[in-house]
Amino acid sequence: MGSSDVVAAVSTRLLRLPLPRPWGPDVPCVHVVVVDVTTEDGATGTGFSWTPTIGATAVRALLDDECTRFVVGGPADPEVVWDPLWRHLHEAGGGGVTTIAMAGIDLALWDLRGRRCGAGLTDLLGRRRDSAEVYGSGVNLHYGLDELVEQAGRWVAAGHDAVKIKVGRPSLDEDVERVAAVRDVIGPGRRLMVDANQRWDLPTARRAIGALARFDLAWVEEPLLADATWAYRQLRAAVDVPVALGENVHTLHRFRDLLDAGACDIVQPNVVRVGGVTPFLRIAALARAYGVALAPHLLPELSGQLALSLPEPVLVEDVEDASFAALGCLAAPSGVTITGGRLTASTRPGLGLSFRHARR
């Protein structure tokens, strides 16, 4: 290997980013661990790990210790590094903190590859389309009804043809009232999705989905605990609303198990939680082989670039006021823009993400 192909150093820094619209009293901020990988010839790629309130310091510690010691002196190739690094870290867990940390390395190496090739991530992977549809989303279960309706109105005004709200209030009647109010605001022509964030057990999910189905739901997301494979299979057989899950699934192997079991209609990998671009592309190919739709979870500045490279159109999620641009953590515009419910990407070489140095 030449000096341009060998990792010489890894460095990290932690950004604490207050949310303009907190995701609840227990989630006032999110964390980004910025990861710089430098090769022996002095070239640098920048990636990141991301997590809400829980786990950022653990992720950073794993990056600074085990990940750095493993990758320094080795090849600066994300597809060569990923599997051996995963096996090395597997004793600490096959996914979760391990894969979130790995994403920082993987994304930095993809950024480095793009910079060397002079291509943004979409064009590096192979651009399939010029734009992707974006749906309006929000972490809004704690919103009052008036605030929820106002948010839905903003999504309509922004040009979104699909929106998603949270369900799982203490009373099913409250969920029915809130979903009905949002359906009234967005009208019959737009798609409406609901997300229960793992709040229900199987009997509750059956009852709730039965009560909400009349609002013509495009999907119900995470109605059960993400690990409840058997229950998901039972639920999917009992309801007519498509079932989506995957934001809390961390490995290709786990996605394969869910697809083998017929547990869902839509998979939703989060590119950071699964470990970066390398495993995300494998999961997308797996879903395609099973004939199951894919809808990336969060992180539109990155997920949007990936969406433009996939063979099939996918919906990209944009949580209100939670993009990197909205959080103010970028030193320069990413080149990913959302206008009229469509996302486009014209980025600098690499990921196009330049993070601020000041702590927030």
Active-site option among 31, 164, 166, 250: 166
What span, in angstroms and rounded, lies between the C-alpha atoms of 83 and 108? 16
The structure tokens listed for 37 are: 């990988």
Superfamily (CATH H level) for 3-117: Enolase-like, N-terminal domain (3.30.390.10)
Bridge partners (DSSP) of residue 36 are: 11, 46
Boundaries of CATH 3.20.20.120 in the chain?
Answer: 123-345
| 166 tagged catalytic | yes
Q: What global pTM score does this model have?
A: 0.96
Tens-place pLDDT, residues 79-106? 999 999 999 999 999 999 999 999 999 9
- The two structure tokens encoding residue 156: 């309509």
Q: Cα angle at 351 between 350 and 353, to 5 degrees?
A: 120
Q: List, by residue range, all CATH 3.30.390.10 domains of the chain.
A: 3-117
DSSP string, 287-339: HHHHT-EE---S-HHHHHHHHTTSSS---EEEETT-SHHHHT-BSS--SEEEE
160 flagged as catalytic: no
**Catalytically annotated residue among 31, 160, 250, 297:** 297
- pLDDT tens digits along 289-326: 999 999 999 999 999 999 999 999 999 999 999 999 99
Looking at domain 123-345, its CATH architecture is: Alpha-Beta Barrel (3.20)
Give per-residue pLDDT as tens, 35-66. 999 999 999 999 999 999 899 999 999 999 99
